[in-house]
Structure 1
């Protein structure tokens, strides 16, 4: 070994040893102290850390830097608002949040979330890929059913008044103003609650779309229940695209926030006078189900084999089912239904759940 190489190794060992001598850095969220254990992930201006509370409990802490003033802060605050909309075990809940003013005048948003020791479904896919293993079909269908139920909660959301039915932030970040009904397909349906509950209460049915469903955004609870996470892209599902400027804004935001291999074809080239709805999530579900079975999204698999453009493969719906592992036609048919290129012909979440149950019936 050369003298230089020996010096570098000695320095690296000494540096690593010194790091372990220092205590873990701490931070406060609304006067509660948390010790940062390690970085779990990062992307764009956000970072996710594993943190430990004073009682030893572990959490995931999302840190969002907002360097571009009010606009970037508004997007982060929208994510906080989104966590407050849903109350269901299939959708991640926010534990706490805080906004901090930095010395340079910018703001940082902290969101405290549950920590899932079992990781996400992408971790499971990666493990299957490395080990050469695959999901048993019956087990996979049971998982599909629970994921679909979480999406159903979003697509069938009910709120008791207009303020709780939509995020408080003025803009969705996707070319939609939540306080302006213009982009919506229709006014949410009004349903009177039973007189025994509250005679004056009104329930509004407001459909939401996650807009970035993929295996990495589905955590596994300790009991194995799939939990939808990362609600930064979540928004009102039904949008009338009324101008070219709005179409381009939606398209650009989709490119930034919706992961390409799981993005619906209608988001690649948004047309003026187009209607976007919950179908964008149905497409993503189909890609996610496919990836759980075959360890790759359908269109990544297609482009790896043919060398074709990923975006063109998605927009044309070009994919195929691998010869192995073997799964039933009923399960494949459910995925085919999700991956219908024409949005108006794509089934809704209730129909997908029905197809999942039909596929499950062969194992009864």
Structure 2
């Protein structure tokens, strides 16, 4: 049973974990670095406190999303358990989820340290992220919140995508104004503003939202891999409208853009196109950048 044993430990599916320190926080969740008493290895333990039936459904959907996949570039759910509480309690349920702990941190941590990638490492790392996205899209799903802090590093050239709480079916049909407002509000709550596709800022009636939202976010991640920050981070920091900046379609390239081959910059710009149908698929991105990677390796 997933009961809390003392203030700093929890038992999940018969495994006892000591919660060492908090390393993340979401809208109704906390993530802890933890140690398993059986093997002394480090893990990441996510605690989701649900106050409503809707929050319980979101937690169950997230667990189901993890269980859809088994791939080296997508995070694996190792253990999970739900603890139900009485109607008089301030929460209806607590869900505990256990994942591998990534000691190398996230892609955002790399940018914060102002680490620069060689072309070869950049391509290997970004292609590994794309392989994870390809798995998601092949299952007819979309992540919807791809951003550097949701990519953990196995090493300096392999990324692992996590946080499937915003994952939805790849295609969402908007049939009326109520649907449009509902999904617009959902995007506001669940999709990082600096990496959010333009079609998620103002959703029209009769619109169709596709997995191309992930391609736009991937384009932002590729930009950040090249230049150490996202294409709209400065806009956000100034307090200006990110929505307007994204909708404008203008992508400012730093002077150091000449550091990387033009094929990388051109691919990135195609992924950041304001029109979803003009963006490449993840398969097309992988094909183009894999060719660039082979050429880079031959040169090296």
- TM score, norm. by length of structure 2: 0.91
Aligned length: 287
After superposition, give the CA deviation of every residue in 1:143-175 in whole Å (9 maximum; x if it has no partner): 111111111111112xxxxxxxxxxxxxxxxxx
Written as runs of structure 1 = structure 2, the 5 A alignment for 1:224-263 is 224-263=157-196
- The aligned residue for residue 124 of structure 1 is 110
**Unpaired runs of at least 5, structure 2:** 1-5
List per-residue Cα deviations over 1:248-294 (Å, max 9, x = no partner): 11111111010000000000001111111110000000001111111
Residues 142 and 214 of structure 2 are in contact (CA less than 8 Å); yes or no, is this contact kept in structure 1? yes
What value does the CA root-mean-square deviation take over the aligned residues? 1.8
Partner of 1:330: 263
**Structure 1 ranges of 4+ moved more than 4 A:** 302-305
Question: Is 1:315 aligned with 2:299?
Answer: no
* Counterpart position of 2:47: 63
**Structure 2: how far apart are the matches of 1:333 and 1:302?**
22
Contact residue 151 and residue 162 of structure 2 kept, 8 A: yes
Distance in 2 (alpha carbons) for counterparts of 1:232 and 1:209: 11
Distance 2:230 2:62 in 1: 26
Which stretches in structure 1 are left out of the alignment for 5+ residues? 1-22, 158-206
Larger radius of gyration: 1
Indicate whether 1:291 and 2:203 are aligned.
Answer: no
Q: Residue 142 of structure 1: CA displacement?
A: 1.2
User: What TM-score comes out, normalization by structure 1 length?
Assistant: 0.75
2:45 and 2:97 in contact (8 A); partners too: yes
- Kindly indicate whether the alpha-carbon contact (under 8 Å) linking 2:144 and 2:213 is maintained by their aligned counterparts in 1: yes
Q: Structure 1, residues 208-266: CA drift from partner, whole Å, max 9, x if none?
A: 10000011001112574211100001111112211111111111111101000000000
Q: 2:81 aligns with which of 77, 81, 98?
A: 98
Q: Distance in 1 between matches of 2:186 and 2:160?
A: 24
Equivalent residue for 2:99? Answer: 113
Contact 1:120 1:216 in 2 (8 A): yes
Q: Tell me which residue corresponds to 1:149.
A: 131
C-alpha contact 1:101 1:108 (8 A) present in aligned 2: yes
Structure-1 separation of matches of 2:156 and 2:229: 25
- Is the 8 Å Cα contact of residues 208 and 278 (structure 1) preserved in structure 2? yes
Cα contact 1:302–1:319 (8 A) shared by 2: no
CA distance in 2, matches of 1:101, 1:278: 35
